[in-house]
Amino acid sequence: MQPSFPSSAESPLSDPQALFRLIDRHGRGFFSLEELQLALAAEGILPDDQRIGRLMQESGETRIDAAQWEELLQRHHIVQRALLKELVIPEFAAFRQSLEEIFEETKKNEKGKVADYIPQLARVDPDQFAVSVCTIDGQRFSLGDASTNFCLQSTCKPVNYCLAMDELGEEKVHSHVGREPSGRTFNELSLNNDGLPHNPLINAGAIMCLSLLKRELSPADRFDYVFDTWRRLCAGHAPAFNNAVYLSERQTADRNFALAYFMREKKAFPPDTDLIEALEFYFQCCSIESCTHHLALAAATLANAGINPLTDEEIFDDETVQHCMSLMLTCGMYDFSGEFAFRIGLPAKSGVSGALFLVVPNVMGISIWSPRLDKIGNSVRGVEFCERLIERYNFHLFDSLTRETAKINPRRRKYEGEFHRHIHLLYAASCGDLDEIKRLEAAGADLNLSDYDGRTALHLAVAENRPEVVAYLLSRQVDRTKQDRWGNTPLEEARRLEFAALVGLLARG
């Protein structure tokens, strides 16, 4: 379990100059913006982060001295939180390195085939592979071909659904589309028992969601609306539109036309729906392009309950995102969704371009892209990367956070468990809280441990005149001969402070 740290964003630092010294390693009394950038980049806060961009512009200088530093920290809490390692993945460099290993291992897998139902996808270099991570605090890194664009295809579907939910609400949206896994392929000609698409994440459901969106607008403005949502999801990085993909999609769309007519026959659409317009809208959204570097920001927005971590903009309502996550968990990976939920246990969405969105709720979003697909239509490397990630980290929604398991909890700071027990023990001893000492002892705290100054629990109990605690510690046979860095034993301390009762206790054998 995460102990709840008081966040520095709420409480001002008591010694901001200590952080200054952390960066000013050589004690020159200043450091350059580059040095600050490097220190932040080590925590995953990259130079193109809007929050840091503003910081650089405002300071206007290339050197930061101690006085400017305090002002800068007050204006930019992200700097303080990053340097204090208070972000959601505190040991970010180690996490990154570990994911690089997973990436390299996964890259060896050359199984699968690129989608070939349209020439634009068939021509894509199959060897490409990219992974980008963005945490809910905006810590980022990218691996491989992370700046190469690819089309969203089915990964546009969660966003279409969220937009429909935010505009029209659950009742209206789900009177037109179900929310059960179909157990069928994404484009199978089938509807549920009510004559509705099974869920919003298969083709029929996505066509339906788009048909509901902004019906009062012209087709051009409807597309702009979705396109602009993607831009905001990607923290202002505008996606692209692949017209060739769009034209090919339209030309090879017999199945999608069939699905739309089938839905119209069942009266699933709202009255006055222009079927062709809805289909065109769907082909256009599938043809939006971006790269993992930017799409990780969209995934992180979903991990962060609808708020973009870099811009802090609320893009979707938190409830909408919750509903979307439930659907991605149960229906996001085509007819592999049950198996994926079983093995990986995280909301995800794949597309035939080899794109894959993975969301670790309240932690991070991951965008993966590798074009070779398995028989079901999921990226082979994408799925393998997720499997390896879950093998190593306790990200599965049903991984225990209360028991120590073989998996790593990267939300935890180095030494955190021992560190807390230890600090608590010394603090409890100085406060005279004997019950707390017993609890910590039961939890495995070593009663003989000392702090950096060589002060043990016994030293502190003596210094604060806590006879009950001193007696207890002695009864537990702690080492009473330990000297602090000034050479004092607890007995010498008691004598110096003239605590006669304690001298008596400590002098007795």
Question: Cα 155 to chain center, whole Å?
Answer: 18
* Closest residue to bound ligand GLN by CB: 154
- HSE, CB side, 13 Å, CA atoms: give it for residue 218: 2
CB of 287 to ligand GLN, least distance (A): 8
Interface residues with ligand GLN (CB under 6 A) are: 153-154, 186-187, 203, 249, 256, 286, 351-352, 377
CB of 333 to ligand GLN, least distance (A): 11
CB of 286 to ligand GLN, least distance (A): 4
Q: How far apart are CA 91 and CA 38, in angstroms?
A: 15
Cα angle, residue 354 at apex, residues 351 and 355 outer, rounded to 5°: 60
Judged by beta carbon, residue 82 or residue 245, the one nearer ligand GLN is: 245
Judged by beta carbon, residue 137 or residue 289, the one nearer ligand GLN is: 289
- Contact status, residue 380 vs residue 181, Cβ threshold 8 Å: no
Judged by beta carbon, residue 59 or residue 256, the one nearer ligand GLN is: 256
CB of 377 to ligand GLN, least distance (A): 6
CB of 245 to ligand GLN, least distance (A): 8
- Contact status, residue 434 vs residue 469, Cβ threshold 8 Å: yes
Please state whether beta strands 288-290 and 240-241 pair in parallel, antiparallel, or not at all (unpaired). antiparallel
Judged by beta carbon, residue 291 or residue 352, the one nearer ligand GLN is: 352
CB of 203 to ligand GLN, least distance (A): 5
Question: Cα 180 to chain center, whole Å?
Answer: 26
Torsion sign over Cα 200, 206, 212, 216: positive
Torsion sign over Cα 424, 426, 430, 432: positive
CB of 144 to ligand GLN, least distance (A): 21
**Distance spanning both ends of the chain, measured CA to CA:** 42
Rg of the chain in Å (alpha carbons): 29
CB of 423 to ligand GLN, least distance (A): 51
Judged by beta carbon, residue 203 or residue 330, the one nearer ligand GLN is: 203
Judged by beta carbon, residue 320 or residue 378, the one nearer ligand GLN is: 378
Judged by beta carbon, residue 137 or residue 249, the one nearer ligand GLN is: 249
- Contact status, residue 263 vs residue 207, Cβ threshold 8 Å: yes
One-letter identity of residue 226: V
Judged by beta carbon, residue 82 or residue 260, the one nearer ligand GLN is: 260
The three-state secondary structure class of 176 is: coil
Q: How far apart are CA 368 and CA 258, in angstroms?
A: 31
The single residue listed with the structure tokens 């602090």 is 484
Helix (H) or strand (E) holding 32: strand 30-32
CB of 367 to ligand GLN, least distance (A): 15
Judged by beta carbon, residue 379 or residue 394, the one nearer ligand GLN is: 379
Helix (H) or strand (E) holding 62: none
Q: How far apart are CA 296 and CA 116, in angstroms?
A: 26
